[in-house]
Structure formats: C-alpha cells, structure tokens
Chains A and B, each alone.
Chain A
Amino acid sequence: MLNISGIQEGFVLDHIQAGMSFQIYHDLKLDRLDCCVAIIKNAKSNKMGKKDIIKVECPIDALDLEILGFIDHNITVNIIKNDNIFEKRQLSLPKEVKNVIRCKNPRCITSIEQELDQIFVLTDTEKQVYRCKYCETKFKGKRKLTSLK
C-alpha cells in the first residue's frame, strides 16, 4: 500500500478516469504552480475499477475548477482546509469556455482574426452541446483541454 501524506490546504481531485491524470495535470497548469502535487495512477476504485487521483497542496483560489467541469464533470473535487474536507464540490458544465478549444469551421471569423478569444457557449445542457460563440458551429470531439493562449 502506497501512502501519500495528507494536505493542510488544497484539493483532492478524485474519480479521475484512469490514465487521464497527466492530461489534467497539464490542463490545470499545475506544472506552473510552485506547490506540492501528488499524482496517483490506477488506484483501486469500487465505482470505476481503476481511477487516478491528484492531490494539490495550494491556496484554494489558485485553481480554476470551472475548466475541470468542462473536461469531466464526474471528477469529485474535495476542498481541504486545516487537514479536513472543507467542501465536496460538485462540478457542472461551465456556461462558457474561453480559449480552451478551437473552432474548426474554416469559415469562422476566428480562423482569420487570431487575436480573438476562442469562446464556446453551452447551448444544450442535457446533450452537453457547446457551440462557437461566433459561427455557432457545434464542438465535436473529446472535451479535453489544449492550451491555446
């Protein structure tokens, strides 16, 4: 059994789909934070079989959790304060994501005006549909982040 010590203040991101933790590490820009990060891969899970977990020791306002909701809203976010779970946050789909995914429509204005923010708006919560704010093209593909800016 591998032991990872507890954290005083920060986050425990649980129920990450096995194998996705490094992607999320980069997408949340954890490499840019000067803090202690533990990544646990392929931990046993009753619910998922295998899962990844990320523990981050950092001030709780240091991470943008909205983006996490876009990547995978099934991830459990435990907010830790004073060594205890202060809050279990339920992730939801963000209403808008900025500079997270790119519009692939070659006729979209964002294809020629490079300084424009790439903005996608949630147009159907039930079907989890995001559309480009400018040309309304539906985002197709895996909702994983790729750093744009």
Chain B
Amino acid sequence: MKHLLNPLDFSVSELDDLLRLANAIEKNPEKYAHACEGKKLATCFYEPSTRTRLSFEAAMLNLGGSVIGFASSDNSSAAKGESVSDTIRVISCYADICAIRHPKEGAALVASSRSSIPVINAGDGGHQHPTQTLTDLLTIYSLKGHLDHLKVGLCGDLKFGRTVHSLINALIRYPAIEFVLISPEELRVPGYIREDVLDANHIPYKEVERLEDAMADLDLLYMTRVQKERFFNEEDYIRMKDFYILDKAKMKLASKDMLVLHPLPRVNEISVEVDDDPRAVYFKQAQYGVYVRMALILTLLDIHIQ
C-alpha cells in the first residue's frame, strides 16, 4: 500500500505517469467520472483549509466517489483528546483513502504508520505539503511543457512556507534547475533545506532580499503568503506581512513568458492589478490542483481506466 507523505515518495518516473494521467483527465473528464464509484475519501482536517479540502472533495466527487470527514479539530474526537494514531485506525474502518491535514509536523507519517488505507498528507504544520507540490508541478509541466532547465524564484516566507520546501525537494530531481530565494533575513529557508537539499545536491541558488533584483532572469516566480498562524509573535507577523507586493511595475521587469504561481490564498503579496496579466496563472493552478488530486486518488487506489 502506498501513501503520499512527501513529494519524494514518488520517483521521477512515477511522477511523470501521474502528471500524464492528470493531463488525460483534464482532456477527457467524462472518461473518469465513474472511476471511484462506491469508494469513500475521508478528509481529516485538524486545521482550517478551503482550497486543499475542497479540491480533495471535488476531485473525489468528479471521480464518482463520495466524501466523509471533518473540517476542524473542534468538530472531531481530537477535541476529546483522541490521538492521531487512534483516529486513523477508526477512519480506516470507514473509508478507502484518507487525506489528513494537521498543524503538527509529522502527523501524516504517524497516521500512515497506523493506517490500513492509503494516507495523503494534505499538510503537516510547516513541514510538507506534497499535494500542493504536485499541483505546482502539474501547472509548470502543463504550461511550460517541461520541468527541467528552469530558473525558479521563490519569494516571501521561505522559512515556514511548507509549499516552498516541498517544491524545492521535488524540482531538484530534474536537470538544470536553479533557484533564486527571495526573502527577508528572518524568513530565509531553514538550514536543513539549504544544507541537506541544496548544498548536498550541488544545486545553484542565490539568496536576495529585493524582488526587483531577481525578476528579469526568472522562468517562474513562486509567490507565497506570510502566514500568520506560523508566528508565535504578532509583532513579527505585522512587520513581515507586507514585505513583498508584486504589482504591474514589477511585472514589467520580467520576461514575457515568466509564469507567476501562488499556492493561494493570496493576501497583499500580489496586487489584484496583476490578475489579468496572462503570466499570472495562480487561478489556473487551483484548477490543476483538482486534476492532480484526481490522478493521485486513482493511483493510490490502484484504479486503472482503459
């Protein structure tokens, strides 16, 4: 039984298969509309989420399956003090596959070790968010046509931004990837990403503070939100939250085919005036998130449609 806890749980070749399946679903959704009939997805969300939870639910419904679950820990037995280990054992009796989001890092790994159904990590604190990474990869693959030979700018909260950590881990497996890490000093990528991932794999990268200094050379700009829930201190959050604002003036510095991605929700970091720019693909990205989750559910449930 396979789980998805980390973007690296799939090899490059398995990932290629998954992305191709997602593209096939995009082209012919009717073909897959009954693929999961009789199957249930449990969405166990211990912290609030709109996009991720609804995109999982939409994905399962698009496949003809059904959905059970909870949307916050207040509405679950966690409020009574039940452990993740016990909850997943029970959920395994009710559903065929589970997507779990939990504020604590490593919660999905704990769930997978006790589960008898495939577990998908839908975000574990500031640690990993692999399905967002799959969404990002599918967006890049579909709109750029390749995942190699890219200069990727990552901007904003690179310290707590789990989407950034997962994306770095996934992209370094492709040839000729280069990163420009754009963040304030306080929100730089953590040491384990810099040392064990970038340095250990000899991936070229530079760290800069000003977005303007990086724009001209980028093939992709991945913007992130400074997340209030990751700060222990309100003062630090207020100081950091509007550090970067991508607007029309900054977009003029970028090449004509540079794509702007964002995992959403966006707050102030991308001005709404950028939304109509054809290079701003973050809403398309949300649509790709459904296709890739459909492909993931089919893959983990080992369902093949001829």
Contacts and interface: CB of A to CB of B under 8 A. Distances in A.
Interface stretch (B56-64, B97-105, B132-140): B97-105
A116 B104 contact: no
B104 A112 contact: yes
A73 interface: no
Interface stretch (B106-114, B201-209, B259-267): B106-114
A124 interface: yes
A132 B106 contact: yes
B85, B104, B109, B127, most chain A CB atoms within 10 A: B104
Contacts of B85: 113, 115-116
A123 B84 contact: no
A135 interface: yes
A21 interface: no
Nearest to B85: A113
B196 A109 contact: no
Contact of B83 (A115, A123, A134, A135): A115
Interface residues of A, number: 21
A144 interface: no
A113 B113 CA distance: 14
A131 B105 CA distance: 13
B38 interface: no
Interface string B120-131: 000011110000
A109, A113, A123, A134, most chain B CB atoms within 10 A: A109
A108 B104 contact: yes
A116 B84 CA distance: 11
Contacts of A136: 105, 127, 192
A135 B106 contact: yes
A56 B196 CA distance: 40
Interface in A86-130: 105, 107-113, 115-116, 123-124, 129
Nearest to A136: B192
Contacts of A133: 106, 109
Contacts of B191: 138
Contacts of B105: 105, 107-109, 134-137
Interface string B21-64: 00000000000000000000000000000000000000000000
A135 B105 CA distance: 5
B110 A116 contact: yes
Contacts of B107: 109, 134
B232 to A, nearest CB: 9
B196 A134 contact: no
B288 to A, nearest CB: 27
A104 to B, nearest CB: 12
A112 B125 CA distance: 13
Interface of A: 105, 107-113, 115-116, 123-124, 129, 131-138
9 contacts: A109-B106, A109-B124, A115-B85, A116-B85, A132-B106, A134-B106, A134-B109, A137-B192, A138-B192
Q: Which 10 A-B pairs have the closest CB atoms?
A: A134-B106, A135-B105, A109-B104, A109-B106, A109-B107, A135-B106, A107-B125, A113-B83, A107-B105, A108-B105
Given A109-B105, A113-B85, A131-B192, 9 more contacts: A109-B109, A111-B104, A123-B196, A134-B109, A134-B110, A135-B106, A135-B125, A136-B105, A138-B191
